[in-house]
């Protein structure tokens, strides 16, 4: 048979791999909804006024193999020089079992933020380990479960000191000039809108301490010195100023921790605990403080509580500090943090243990001391008396030449200034590396004798600051040191959790779609992972190509003119976007514009962010159908027209509908002198159908960890780029390493650079048509669920034709009246059916918000709908009295395996409790704990690993 009759098959199979429903399913679903095509359905969902605003001029998608080859070629343009740049970023070894079983394992990276504690005990335990690690090393009792990077953690510390300092008269914050320069940049950006003056100076000459409400010091200092800050901290305290110390966690294994010399806050990066450099991120930052300050702590905090059976159980503690509850009065706007990276760091400590970590630190220090002694022999002047891993060399006129010599050997040193070079050693440094460094400075002299120097080298840590206290004595850091043990521990924790690798996670507003393996693979390539963020530009050509292309792709997807990839979460994108608006008004002499309108239904990050840029939040109403109340909005815009800065509005709305009035809303704001911020977290309903940059938005953030396939990681990492219209482009974030030097919002120029390949791959493989189809299917899947469930649970809001956008809200409030069953009970009962709960009580209390995404197949949607319908039947049984009002499977959900043994005290069967449908017998998910008591945990706050005795007592 001749093959010539068949045209060569060049189909791109990826689109159908990403999208769940098959063609026949799509036809059936459309039929149920009464449409004969996707186009016909979409025509009724997207309002005519904005339809067709999306151009999405992108080439056709490429298959997985082709796209991987293309990105491999791009990656190959990055040059991997040996990095001794330091400055907060250090090469390290990611232990292979952690790389394979955690970083590259969907059980860990596809999990959602652990708001549902019963299905999150594994990652909560890993985070509790992280908090314990940080607390132990920093010497401060309360540590959070990560912030975004060291720079923003320092900025959080600054506003934390402002809130808590008793020196209310001062608006000045002292920052040592020995802090990392990128930290100082972020501090300056964050301080300015709040009217805080950042005074950068030498900590040995602070003058009158009472001029300051707080101070930031670096330990060890950026140039390598280790200063004794004890007297200084006392001076600041005597003047009622608080002191934050940015400290290197590895150095703290050997040095007196900040908590022991009086610091009020310790913060920094956990990057060198096993997380690749990744051209600047993502990495976890840490933040620790005193117990008395815990209620003002930014970020998420894991705490120990008990479950329904009195057994210990973990959950997120003290959420009343956070933006989703406190809105503009929140301690911070942080939502997505760096959970996956915090977990890598915590497992690095679990694997190495206290002795292992100390050994690594001591070795780094020894090599640095040998290096310094050798350099001295070669006549090089080393500035530090005391140091840990970093030296500054007074190289005078030879600086540029030496720098060039190093580059020729593929070695990067740190350029301190015209007369000095800096260098840092790390876990990966070897004898050969030290000798290569000597060779750069040898200038024809014989190289020092490494063995002889190593045999005689003395510690260069200051004797008065040697660490006396023990670290990591908890069993968890002393048990899993063989690879077999660690592998099983990681597996055990992962098995406790429900992530996307088990079932759909139908979270409204969070878009838990497929994170395809081909998208993830490039992330752990050394060509992306091993680059220092401040490597010379000529070494990062691959990253430049990737980011330039990605920016162009995102402009296509949003209809904006320019994109900044710097913000490393949605909250940070909001911040960068509002800063751009503020700077734009100021550039026109409109300094007084400081009012931000925010509809009632907004995500908590919106008001929290507005207050961080010094704007005043004016809340506008929503009408009975969930739409922005345009009359109220218009009245408020006009009332404040002289001071109107912006509106922050989510589209499609947080109520899951494409509001007809969006163009009119944008026009009202513009007519009154304001700018329109469209929160792009719901972009999954728009890509390829309509474009915020074309229907009235001036700026939007995108959540690449929602719409564009970066996995949630159990609560981070994320990327929150912003798109802007041309008039705002001059006000996008800058960075010392970029053309625009000012206005950094993240420590690294491209924030979380090493996960950008995920989004690049997604867009490259889907192409314009694939992306548009994904949006159509996301909307179809949501409407299918809404239609299947509406006779069982009323759908709260819908558009003109009874259709929803990409998510829908089910109203459970009436059930509370008739049965006493709450939205919590339904959410927890879903766990017995093997599902993660939808979003609870946001944006409307007493409701569930469901977003299936395009990636879920019809089978999975049906399985979920069937579970919801069965649960409704259970509620009906409660209503009718067939099930007891208090002792029923909903109130007692979720059910653990353990409670099945022994006496069964309930008025319903064991079968109904754990196998409510026969199909669950195959592949049943067993929650490790019963329902968790939140109130108990907040009243008895424990946020580090409890002692074994405490566990036994509980």
Ligand X SMILES: *Cc1c(COP(=O)(O)O)cnc(C)c1O
Q: Is 368 in the site for ligand X (CB under 6 A)?
A: no
Question: Judged by CB, which is closer to ligand X: 186, or 929?
Answer: 186
Name 381's bridge partners: 394
Question: Judged by CB, which is closer to ligand X: 253, or 653?
Answer: 653
Q: Least distance from C-beta 680 to ligand X, angstroms? A: 8
Name 171's bridge partners: none
Region from 201-209, 567-575, 610-618, 795-803 binding ligand X, contact rule CB under 6 A: 567-575
Q: Least distance from C-beta 698 to ligand X, angstroms? A: 17
Size of site (CB under 6 A) for ligand X: 15
Sign of CA dihedral 334, 91, 373, 464: positive
Phi, psi of 837, rounded to the nearest 5 degrees:
-70, 150
Sign of CA dihedral 849, 688, 64, 518: negative
Question: Judged by CB, which is closer to ligand X: 64, or 679?
Answer: 679
Distances (CA, A) of 119 to 90, 342, 837, 889, 930: 35, 19, 10, 17, 10
Out of 170, 564, 620, 650, point to the residue binding ligand X (CB under 6 A).
650
Q: Is 781 in the site for ligand X (CB under 6 A)?
A: no
Could you tell me the two tokens for 917?
Answer: 């449908």
Sign of CA dihedral 38, 42, 48, 52: negative
Q: Least distance from C-beta 608 to ligand X, angstroms? A: 10
Q: Residue 431 and residue 650: Cα distance in Å, rounded?
A: 56
Q: Do residues 807 and 782 lie in contact, with contact meaning Cβ atoms separated by under 8 Å?
A: yes
Q: Residue 830 and residue 839: Cα distance in Å, rounded?
A: 12
Question: Judged by CB, which is closer to ligand X: 263, or 284?
Answer: 284
Q: Residue 653 and residue 636: Cα distance in Å, rounded?
A: 19
Out of 64, 679, 851, 933, point to the residue binding ligand X (CB under 6 A).
679
Region from 174-182, 377-385, 563-571, 910-918 binding ligand X, contact rule CB under 6 A: 563-571
Question: Judged by CB, which is closer to ligand X: 570, or 693?
Answer: 570
Question: Judged by CB, which is closer to ligand X: 248, or 679?
Answer: 679
Q: Least distance from C-beta 493 to ligand X, angstroms? A: 23
Burial of 136 (0-12, 13-18, 19+ CB in 10 A): buried
Q: Is 322 in the site for ligand X (CB under 6 A)?
A: no
Q: Is 392 in the site for ligand X (CB under 6 A)?
A: no
Q: Is 331 in the site for ligand X (CB under 6 A)?
A: no
Question: Judged by CB, which is closer to ligand X: 38, or 576?
Answer: 576
Q: Do residues 160 and 293 lie in contact, with contact meaning Cβ atoms separated by under 8 Å?
A: yes
Half-sphere exposure of 40 (CA within 13 A, CB side): 8
Q: Is 330 in the site for ligand X (CB under 6 A)?
A: no
Positions 852 through 881 that interact with ligand X (CB under 6 A): none
Give the x/- contact pattern for ligand X in 886-915, rule: CB under 6 A. Answer: ------------------------------
Give the x/- contact pattern for ligand X in 506-525, rule: CB under 6 A. Answer: ---x----------------
Q: Which of 336, 188, 200 is nearest to 705 (CA)?
A: 336
Q: Is 353 in the site for ligand X (CB under 6 A)?
A: no
Instruction: Tell me the angle at which helices 541-558 and 64-75 cross, rounded to the nearest 10 degrees.
Output: 130
Q: Residue 390 and residue 494: Cα distance in Å, rounded?
A: 38
Could you tell me the two tokens for 87?
Answer: 């400055």
Question: Judged by CB, which is closer to ligand X: 551, or 679?
Answer: 679
Question: Judged by CB, which is closer to ligand X: 346, or 707?
Answer: 707
Q: Residue 356 and residue 97: Cα distance in Å, rounded?
A: 16
Give the x/- contact pattern for ligand X in 720-739, rule: CB under 6 A. Answer: x-------------------
Q: Is 656 in the site for ligand X (CB under 6 A)?
A: no
Closest residue (Cβ) to ligand X? 570
Out of 155, 222, 681, 850, point to the residue binding ligand X (CB under 6 A).
681
Q: Is 188 in the site for ligand X (CB under 6 A)?
A: no
Question: Judged by CB, which is closer to ligand X: 606, or 675?
Answer: 606
Q: Is 571 in the site for ligand X (CB under 6 A)?
A: yes
Q: Least distance from C-beta 826 to ligand X, angstroms? A: 21
CA dihedral of residues 456, 459, 464, 466 (deg, nearest 10): -130
Sign of CA dihedral 289, 292, 293, 299: positive
Which is it for strands 722-724 and 699-702: parallel, antiparallel or unpaired?
antiparallel
Positions 456 through 495 that interact with ligand X (CB under 6 A): none
Q: Is 603 in the site for ligand X (CB under 6 A)?
A: yes
Question: Judged by CB, which is closer to ligand X: 116, or 170?
Answer: 116
Q: Least distance from C-beta 603 to ligand X, angstroms? A: 3
Question: Judged by CB, which is closer to ligand X: 440, or 576?
Answer: 576
Q: Least distance from C-beta 718 to ligand X, angstroms? A: 4
Name 216's bridge partners: 175, 244
Q: Is 95 in the site for ligand X (CB under 6 A)?
A: no
Half-sphere exposure of 713 (CA within 13 A, CB side): 27
Q: Residue 301 and residue 715: Cα distance in Å, rounded?
A: 12
Residue 651: which residues within 8 A CB-CB, separation 6 or more? 658, 659, 662, 678, 679, 680, 682, 686, 692, 697
Q: Do residues 276 and 103 lie in contact, with contact meaning Cβ atoms separated by under 8 Å?
A: no
> SS in 3 state form for 659-677?
CCCHHHHHHHHHHCCCEEE
Q: Which of 623, 857, 680, 859 is nearest to 17 (CA)?
A: 857
Q: Is 121 in the site for ligand X (CB under 6 A)?
A: no
Q: Is 626 in the site for ligand X (CB under 6 A)?
A: no
Question: Judged by CB, which is closer to ligand X: 570, or 696?
Answer: 570
Q: Is 605 in the site for ligand X (CB under 6 A)?
A: yes
Positions 695 through 714 that interact with ligand X (CB under 6 A): 703
Q: Least distance from C-beta 889 to ligand X, angstroms? A: 31
Burial of 541 (0-12, 13-18, 19+ CB in 10 A): middle
Q: Which of 856, 576, 578 is nearest to 719 (CA)?
A: 576
Question: Judged by CB, which is closer to ligand X: 62, or 601?
Answer: 601
Phi, psi of 746, rounded to the nearest 5 degrees:
-130, 160
Q: Is 335 in the site for ligand X (CB under 6 A)?
A: yes
Looking up tokens 């109520």 gives 655
Which H/E stretch holds residue 30? helix 23-33
Q: Is 569 in the site for ligand X (CB under 6 A)?
A: yes
Q: Least distance from C-beta 120 to ligand X, angstroms? A: 16
Region from 494-502, 569-577, 789-797, 827-835 binding ligand X, contact rule CB under 6 A: 569-577
Could you tell me the two tokens for 541?
Answer: 């050509």
Q: Is 568 in the site for ligand X (CB under 6 A)?
A: no
Region from 277-285, 421-429, 565-573, 656-664 binding ligand X, contact rule CB under 6 A: 565-573
Q: Residue 323 and residue 156: Cα distance in Å, rounded?
A: 14
Region from 248-256, 529-537, 564-572, 624-632 binding ligand X, contact rule CB under 6 A: 564-572
CA dihedral of residues 280, 284, 287, 291 (deg, nearest 10): 180
Out of 120, 331, 332, 336, point to the residue binding ligand X (CB under 6 A).
336
Q: Is 718 in the site for ligand X (CB under 6 A)?
A: yes
- The answer, yes or no, to whether the previous bond of 843 is cis (omega within 30 of 0) is yes
Instruction: Tell me the angle at which helices 858-880 and 756-789 cross, rounded to the nearest 10 degrees.
Output: 40
Question: Judged by CB, which is closer to ligand X: 61, or 114?
Answer: 114
Question: Judged by CB, which is closer to ligand X: 214, or 299?
Answer: 299
Q: Is 429 in the site for ligand X (CB under 6 A)?
A: no
Q: Is 570 in the site for ligand X (CB under 6 A)?
A: yes
Contact residues: ligand X, CB under 6 A: 335-336, 509, 569-571, 603, 605, 650, 654, 679, 681, 703, 718, 720
């Amino acid at each position: 048979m001749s093959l010539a009759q068949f045209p060569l098959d060049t189909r791109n199979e990826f689109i159908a791999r990403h999208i769940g429903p098959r063609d026949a399913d799509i036809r059936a679903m459309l039929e149920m909804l009464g449409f004969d095509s996707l186009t016909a359905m979409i025509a009724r969902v997207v309002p005519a006024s904005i339809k067709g605003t999306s151009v999405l001029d992108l080439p056709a998608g490429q298959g997985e193999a082709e796209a991987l080859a293309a990105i491999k070629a791009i990656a190959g343009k990055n040059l991997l020089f040996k990095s001794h740049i330091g400055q907060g970023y250090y090469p390290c070894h990611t232990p292979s079992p952690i790389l394979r079983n955690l970083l590259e394992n969907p059980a860990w990276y596809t999990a959602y933020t652990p708001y549902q504690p019963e299905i999150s005990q594994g990652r909560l335990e890993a985070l509790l380990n992280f908090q314990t690690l940080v607390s132990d090393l920093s010497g401060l009792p309360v540590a959070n479960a990560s912030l975004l990077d060291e720079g923003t953690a320092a900025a959080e510390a600054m506003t934390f000191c402002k809130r808590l300092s008793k020196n209310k008269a001062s608006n000045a914050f002292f920052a040592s000039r020995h802090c990392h320069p990128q930290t100082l940049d972020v501090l300056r950006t964050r301080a300015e809108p709040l009217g805080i003056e950042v005074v950068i100076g030498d900590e040995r000459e602070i003058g009158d301490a009472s001029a300051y409400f707080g101070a930031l010091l670096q330990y060890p200092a950026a140039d390598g010195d280790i200063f004794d800050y004890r007297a200084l901290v006392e001076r600041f305290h005597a003047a009622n100023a608080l002191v934050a110390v940015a400290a290197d966690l590895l150095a703290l294994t050997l040095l007196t921790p900040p908590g022991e010399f009086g610091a009020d806050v310790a913060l920094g990066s956990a990057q060198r605990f096993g997380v690749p450099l990744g051209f600047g991120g993502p990495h976890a930052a840490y933040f620790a403080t005193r117990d008395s300050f815990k209620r003002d702590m930014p970020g998420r905090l894991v705490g120990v509580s008990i479950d329904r059976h009195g057994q210990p159980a973990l959950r997120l503690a003290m959420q009343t500090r956070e933006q989703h509850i406190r809105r503009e009065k929140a301690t911070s706007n942080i939502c997505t943090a760096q959970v996956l990276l915090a977990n890598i760091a915590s497992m690095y400590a679990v694997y190495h243990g206290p002795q292992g970590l100390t050994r690594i630190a001591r070795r780094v220090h020894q090599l640095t001391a040998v290096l310094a002694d050798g350099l001295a022999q070669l006549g090089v002047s080393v500035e530090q008396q005391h140091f840990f891993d970093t030296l500054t060399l007074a190289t005078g006129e030879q600086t540029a030449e030496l720098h060039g010599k190093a580059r020729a050997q593929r070695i990067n040193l740190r350029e301190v200034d015209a007369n000095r070079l800096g260098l840092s050693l790390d876990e990966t440094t070897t004898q050969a590396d030290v000798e290569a460094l000597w060779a750069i400075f040898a200038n024809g002299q014989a190289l020092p004798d490494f063995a002889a120097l190593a045999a005689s080298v003395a510690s260069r840590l200051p004797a008065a600051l040697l660490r006396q206290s023990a670290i990591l004595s908890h069993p968890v850091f002393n048990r899993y040191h063989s690879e077999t043990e660690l592998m099983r521990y990681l597996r055990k924790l992962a098995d406790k959790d429900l992530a996307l690798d088990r079932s759909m996670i139908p979270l409204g507003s969070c878009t838990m779609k497929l994170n395809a393996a081909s998208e993830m693979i490039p992330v752990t390539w050394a060509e992306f992972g091993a680059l220092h963020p401040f490597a010379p530009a000529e070494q990062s050509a691959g990253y430049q190509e990737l980011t330039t292309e990605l920016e162009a792709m995102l402009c296509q997807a949003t209809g904006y003119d320019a994109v900044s990839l710097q913000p490393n979460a949605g909250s940070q994108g909001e911040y960068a976007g509002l800063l751009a608006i503020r700077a734009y008004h100021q550039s026109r002499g409109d300094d007084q514009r400081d009012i931000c309108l925010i509809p009632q239904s907004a995500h908590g990050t919106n008001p929290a962010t507005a207050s961080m840029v010094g704007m005043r939040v004016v809340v506008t109403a929503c009408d009975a159908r969930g739409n922005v109340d345009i009359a109220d909005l218009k009245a408020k815009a006009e009332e404040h027209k002289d001071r109107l800065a912006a509106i922050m509005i989510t589209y499609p709305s947080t109520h899951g509908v494409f509001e007809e009035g969006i163009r009119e809303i944008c026009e009202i704001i513009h007519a009154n002198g304001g700018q329109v911020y469209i929160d792009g977290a719901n972009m999954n309903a728009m890509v390829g159908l309509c474009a915020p940059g074309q229907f009235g938005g001036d700026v939007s953030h995108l959540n690449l960890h929602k719409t564009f396939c970066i996995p949630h990681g159990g609560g981070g990492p994320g990327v929150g780029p912003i798109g802007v219209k041309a008039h705002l482009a001059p006000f996008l974030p800058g960075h010392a390493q970029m053309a625009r030097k000012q206005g950094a919002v993240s420590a690294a120029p491209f924030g979380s650079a090493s996960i950008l390949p995920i989004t690049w791959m997604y867009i490259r493989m889907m192409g314009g048509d694939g992306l548009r189809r994904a949006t159509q299917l996301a909307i179809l899947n949501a409407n299918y669920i809404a239609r299947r469930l509406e006779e069982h649970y009323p759908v709260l809001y819908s558009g003109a034709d009874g259709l929803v956008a990409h998510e829908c809200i089910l109203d459970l409030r009436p059930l509370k009246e008739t049965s006493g069953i709450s939205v919590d009970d339904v959410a927890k009962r879903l766990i017995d059916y093997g599902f993660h709960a939808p979003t609870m009580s946001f944006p409307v209390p007493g409701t569930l918000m469901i977003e299936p995404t395009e990636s879920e197949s019809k089978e999975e949607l049906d399985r979920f709908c069937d579970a919801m319908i069965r649960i409704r039947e259970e509620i009906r049984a409660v209503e009718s009295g067939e099930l007891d009002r208090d002792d029923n499977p909903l109130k007692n959900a979720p059910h653990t395996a353990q409670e099945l043994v022994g006496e069964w005290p309930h008025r319903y069967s064991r079968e109904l409790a754990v196998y409510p449908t026969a199909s669950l017998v195959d592949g049943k998910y067993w929650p490790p704990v019963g329902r968790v008591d939140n109130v108990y945990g907040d009243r008895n706050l424990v946020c580090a690993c409890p002692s074994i005795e405490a566990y036994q007592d509980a």
